[in-house]
Amino acid sequence: MGLLTLTKVSKAFGNQQVLKGLDLDVPQGAIYGFVGENGAGKTTTMRLILGLEPLDSGTITFTGQPVKFGHTQGIGYLPDVPAYYGDLSAREYLTLCGRLTQTAHLHERVGEMLHLVGLPDTRRRVHGFSRGMKQRLGIASALLDRPAMLLCDEPTSALDPAGRREFLALLASVHNETTILLSTHILSDVERICDYVGILHAGKLQMQGPLQALLAAHTQPATRFTFSNEAQAQAAATLLGGAATASQVTVTTDAQAALRQLLAQHLMPTAFNPIKASLEQLFMEVIA
Ligand SMILES: Nc1ncnc2c1ncn2[C@@H]1O[C@H](COP(=O)(O)OP(=O)(O)OP(=O)(O)O)[C@@H](O)[C@H]1O
């Protein structure tokens, strides 16, 4: 059993059944990517885990104990766009958070957290912080009380590509402090830092496990042939039964055999490259 386990969890709002018997298992020490389309129920699941919403049926256990509605679970939470008291400095804000949770050795712990997330310990007010700095402060406050798990709800959705890259590197670097459950629909973010993945669709987890093992088991190796014009690509697609986009054709059959077929018909690709199995391929298969 994992650090966090959801068993047959169901949740409806009115007559909309959002979760229909969700099973989810997050191993200790994982960076678990929880992916699903918009409206799939990721935030709802996170709110159930945090005890902010009651379950209709099923069970949730965290560190072996049942999660109860209305009780603090000792889980850190980072929302997509964290909100702060802008007139405080980072240290003042973290000190306020730490007093509320009665964090031990608060002064030292605040210093440690500022150092961990790379924020300067100055009098600068939070309202002048960039979005990236606010995310850093969000991680520092979520980890302040040493939670065994950090829940991040679509944390990169408001960041530009450079901000996303920086944030993901930071998340990977705090990984030895805590287990991480990251909800997102940005599949490349999951590929970049997660070692486990679960795909939520139609109210259930359709697939979960170690990311690389799932990719290896469920996706076919593919090759992309590039031609000098679209007409050749179309002819090659007809010959090989692959999919053509502009001057490229992607096939999942044996690459050498495909190349021999092309050359026999005087269709000479200008390049051919193996395509790495991607989470996007897997995701599209699952939700098809
Ligand atoms: N408090 C609520 N009352 C009524 N409906 C709700 C409530 N919370 C969520 N829903 C509905 O439940 C469904 C799932 O919403 P949820 O926010 O959990 O999805 P999500 O996967 O996080 O989506 P997104 O990626 O767009 O944030 C949506 O149709 C939403 O409108």
The best mutation among 20, 44, 200 to test binding of ligand 1, ranked by most ligand atoms within 8 Å of the C-beta, falls on: 44
Residue nearest atom 10 of ligand 1, based on CA coordinates = 13
With cut-offs at 50, 70 and 90, classify the pLDDT of residue 195: very high
**Tokens 């044996």 label which residue?**
254
Ligand 1 atom with the smallest distance to the CA of 80 is 27
* pLDDT > 70? residue 40: yes
Measured CA distances, 201 to 26, 206, 233, 286, 287 (Å):
18, 6, 35, 8, 7
Site residues for ligand 1, CB cut-off 6 Å: 13, 18, 36, 38-44, 185
- What's the pLDDT score for residue 41? 95
How many whole angstroms from 48 Cα to the centroid of ligand 1?
12
DSSP letters, 158-181, are: TS-HHHHHHHHHHHHHTGGGSEEE
* pLDDT > 90? residue 229: yes
Domain boundaries, the chain: 4-208, 219-287
Residues 6+ apart with CB under 8 A from 203: 10, 17, 18, 19, 20, 21, 22, 41
- What's the pLDDT score for residue 1? 66
Weakest mean pLDDT among 36-45, 239-248, 257-266? 239-248
* pLDDT > 70? residue 65: yes
Which of 173-187, 193-207, 270-284 ranks highest by mean pLDDT? Answer: 193-207
- What's the pLDDT score for residue 159? 79
Averaged pLDDT for residues 40-57: 94
Angle at 181 between CA 16 and CA 27, to 5 degrees: 110
* pLDDT > 90? residue 278: no
* pLDDT > 70? residue 136: yes
Provide long-range contacts, Cβ within 8 A and 24+ apart, for 95-100: 97/141, 97/144, 98/144, 98/145
How many whole angstroms from 127 Cα to the centroid of ligand 1?
29
* pLDDT > 80? residue 81: no
Give the residue from 142, 71, 119, 145 showing the smallest Cα distance to 155.
142
Exposed (0-12), middle (13-18) or buried (19+): which is 157, by Cβ within 10 Å? Answer: middle
Q: What is the mean pLDDT of the chain?
A: 91
Q: What is the ipTM of this complex?
A: 0.96
Q: Are 43 and 35 in contact (CB under 8 A)?
A: no
Please tell us whether the domain made up of 4-208 is placed in CATH 3.40.50.300: yes
Same fold, 4-208 and 219-287: no
- Per-residue burial over 81-116, b if 16 or more Cβ lie within 10 Å, else e, is ebebeeeebbbebbbebbeeeebeebeebbeebbeb
Q: Copy the structure tokens of residue 158.
A: 């408001």
CATH number, span 219-287: 3.30.70
* pLDDT > 90? residue 255: no
Averaged pLDDT for residues 97-120: 92
Averaged pLDDT for residues 162-176: 87
